Amino acid sequence: MSGQRRREVVGQGLASLGLVLVALALPVSALAQTGPVSLDQARAEHEAGKALLVDIREPDEHAAGVAPGARLLPMRQLSARLAELPRDRPVLLICNTQNRSRASFDALRERGWTHLRFVNGGMSEWNRRGWKTVKPGG
């Protein structure tokens, strides 16, 4: 191996090591601020007050029951009500199955939201598990 090639390989290795060390220095919660989150983890974080659960289903879906304490913000109204979404704390988007929450997640990430995740399984899985729901406003 030539001296130049050896320096390139060592440089690449050091760069990779640097990325690993940066990742290890971050708390786990900082690494997990984006992408999907399990229903169990979302519920735990929401109930502990560590994250805001935002139900983006439509009002007719909300009428069947919502997670206690969830903020109701229908997907169709999302762009007009962006000011209601905090940027300084974790936000968990939930819909019925995660299709709309994933699409909303992608759109909000493009607009600069960083502490954002979407809930795998959604409210259909929440209901299947028999977890408590409440009527909106109640």
Query: Could you list the active site residues?
Result: 95
- As given in the structure block, the two tokens for residue 24 are 């290890």
Closest CA to 118 of 30, 28, 42: 42
- As given in the structure block, the two tokens for residue 56 are 């983006």
DSSP for 83-104? GGS-SSS-EEEE-SSSHHHHHH
Neighbours of 105 (CB within 10 A): 23
